[in-house]
Structure 1
Amino acid sequence: MRWSPGKRSGNLRDRRASTGGGGIPLPGKLGGGLGTIIVIIVALLVGTGGDGGSTGSGGGALGEILEQLGGPTVPAATDDALDADAPDPERRQVDFVSFVLDDVQGVWREQFRRSGEQYRDATLELFRGRTSTACGTGTSDTGPFYCPPDQGVYIDLGFFRELSDRFGAPGDFAQAYVIAHEIGHHVQNLLGIDEQVRARSEREPDRENDLSIRQELQADCFAGVWGHAAYTRELLESGDLEEGLAAAESVGDDRIQEAAGADVNPETWTHGSAAQRQTWFRRGYDSGDPERCDTFSADL
């Protein structure tokens, strides 16, 4: 990607120096741009039933990977790594996360503005090992995740090493895809989709996995919408799209099960196959249109 370090995002919370060690895994209306999606999804999801509670999104989206592959290989933070006075070996990585965070949210801010609505920024916290969230204790075991109650994305930078070395998806745009996917969950939260999915899952537990897959694929599509905007502004370089597609493929449920040496069983999927994740990311990327991201009425 074409980018340069600048002022750190006001929405970035760097808590790497104050977190560390192990932890307990997490428990398991727009018009023009998104208006049609809202009408369709609400029609599909509404009905009688209660609130679905508050759990994180996207920790499942990318988080079960590490558990199914035998846990994280990210080393625990050392005292040296947490020394606030020492040079930060991850400085450029943090600058990149800051840049992508602001760029993704800038795109969605414009999407909402065109529809006469106001976008509320998400925060992104960088941590090591474990951290406290409104959804409970978040750990590096869960991978990047989004917590709806505090509207925050949480990332241990060690996951990006995992993504490259363990999952075979290197490159800066692969990392940007992860951030854009999590902000996609924030967009779902702002639009009420997250709440509707949780409520529908409680009413119809037999559809919980299907609804989870559709929610994750929509976040992939939303990530693609940002990718399209980045392309039109000439932020992408040769090979970036392929990096994003490789990242989407690497976190498909079938790929995860294969890598874990398990049988591929679609009935247990919660995030979608490699092909589905690539398809929906590409749909958002090719169109740049959030209305094309209606996974809830589509044949998957």
Structure 2
Amino acid sequence: MKMDGQRESENVEDVRGSGGGGGLPIGGRGLGVGGIVVALLASWAFGINPLTVLGLLDGGGGAPAVQSGAPAEHHPKDPGAVFVSRVLADTEDVWGGYFQRSGQQYPAPKLVIFRDRWPTACGAGEAAMGPFYCPADRKVYIDLGFYEVMRQRLGAPGDFAQAYVIAHEVGHHLQNLMGTTEKLDRARGRVSEREANALSVKLELQADCFAGVWANLSQRSKGWLEQGDIEEALNAASQIGDDTLQKRARGTVVPESFTHGSSAQRVRWFKTGLQAGDLKACDTFSSAAL
């Protein structure tokens, strides 16, 4: 990605030096960001819903949190923080323009960079959860150490793979603005766990599709993608598919336990958004086949 000279978002809060707390306590020890892979693989190995292990679903609810520590820094300068700030800025440009063409205003989300643990309006945010979006405070949360997990443990290197992660979480913000998240939360309470998992898959695949739409519109306006960038995003989508994680953990696949979609599904819906460049192409809830 050609990132030099791109503007940085004003909606980034860097709280890494604010004393948000340690990692998730397990057996008296903190669980750092590398624990996301361990937690996911353990959940598949023992047949436990990974959301139970990680404690928070993208877009899930929870008790309001009380912020603590020093004020957030709004202009982080280390390379990792600058990168996500520039990616977030581009999502603001893309979705701001998209909403404006429909006669609407786009309320952009905040992005919080934290380390290990931080209180959110959806409950305690843990690095072990990986990046996530909280609809209650309209913020994306990320521990930048997750990118090391992507490179070293998930086999998903590359700057555009990292950008895809931000775009996916911003996709959840769009779902929140559209009322999709609230409708899904209500529906989950009326169905079985298996059916609730299926709804979660559709939500996640739609966020993948939204990320693809962003990539299309961003490239049209800035032309900043380089050879291999799209392949990096597709590889990342494939590496975090539920079936790939399950095979890695125990060699078998249990589709009814999927919560994010298979590798093929995640790749397919990202490509759908990428090719269409239109949110209307991302109706995973009405699609006959995912």
TM-score by length of structure 2 reads 0.81
Q: Does 2:68 match 1:67?
A: no
TM-score by length of structure 1 reads 0.78
Partner Cα separation in structure 1 for residue 25 and residue 183 of structure 2: 27
After superposition, what is the alpha-carbon deviation per residue over 1:184-225, rounded to whole angstroms, capped at 9, x for unaligned? Answer: 000000000000011111122352011100000000000000
Q: Does 2:229 match 1:257?
A: no
- Contact 2:201–2:259 under 8 Å retained in 1: yes
After superposition, what is the alpha-carbon deviation per residue over 1:1-32, rounded to whole angstroms, capped at 9, x for unaligned? Answer: 0112566421000011123521369xxxxxxx
Partner Cα separation in structure 1 for residue 110 and residue 248 of structure 2: 32
- Contact 1:24–1:137 under 8 Å retained in 2: no
After superposition, what is the alpha-carbon deviation per residue over 1:124-153, rounded to whole angstroms, capped at 9, x for unaligned? Answer: 000110000000100011000000000000
**Deviation (angstroms), 1:157:** 0.4
C-alpha root-mean-square deviation of aligned residues, in Å?
A: 2.0
Partner Cα separation in structure 2 for residue 122 and residue 199 of structure 1: 23
Partner Cα separation in structure 1 for residue 142 and residue 109 of structure 2: 13
**Deviation (angstroms), 1:65:** 4.6
The number of aligned residues is: 246
**Deviation (angstroms), 1:276:** 0.2
- Contact 2:7–2:89 under 8 Å retained in 1: no
**Deviation (angstroms), 1:64:** 6.3
**Deviation (angstroms), 1:230:** 2.3
Q: Structure 1 stretch 276-285 or stretch 3-12: which is displaced more?
A: 3-12
One-letter code aligned to 1:176? A
Instruction: Tell me the residue number matched to 1:292.
Output: 281
Q: Does 2:69 match 1:97?
A: no
CA pair 94-265 structure 1, distance change in 2 beyond 3 A: same
> Which of these residues, 235, 240, 249, is aligned with residue 229 of structure 2?
240
- Contact 1:65–1:251 under 8 Å retained in 2: no
Instruction: Tell me the residue number matched to 1:271.
Output: 260
- Contact 2:210–2:270 under 8 Å retained in 1: yes
Instruction: Tell me the residue number matched to 1:170.
Output: 157
Instruction: Tell me the residue number matched to 2:135.
Output: 148
One-letter code aligned to 2:145? G
- Contact 2:8–2:89 under 8 Å retained in 1: no
- Contact 1:249–1:274 under 8 Å retained in 2: yes
Higher RCO structure (Cα 8 Å, ≥6 apart): 1
Partner Cα separation in structure 2 for residue 255 and residue 289 of structure 1: 28
Where structure 1 has 5 or more consecutive residues not aligned to the other structure, the ranges are: 26-62, 72-88
Instruction: Tell me the residue number matched to 1:282.
Output: 271
Partner Cα separation in structure 1 for residue 6 and residue 211 of structure 2: 23
**Deviation (angstroms), 1:261:** 2.5
Instruction: Tell me the residue number matched to 2:118.
Output: 131
Where structure 2 has 5 or more consecutive residues not aligned to the other structure, the ranges are: 27-34, 44-75
- Contact 1:6–1:95 under 8 Å retained in 2: no
Q: Report sequence identity in percent.
A: 50
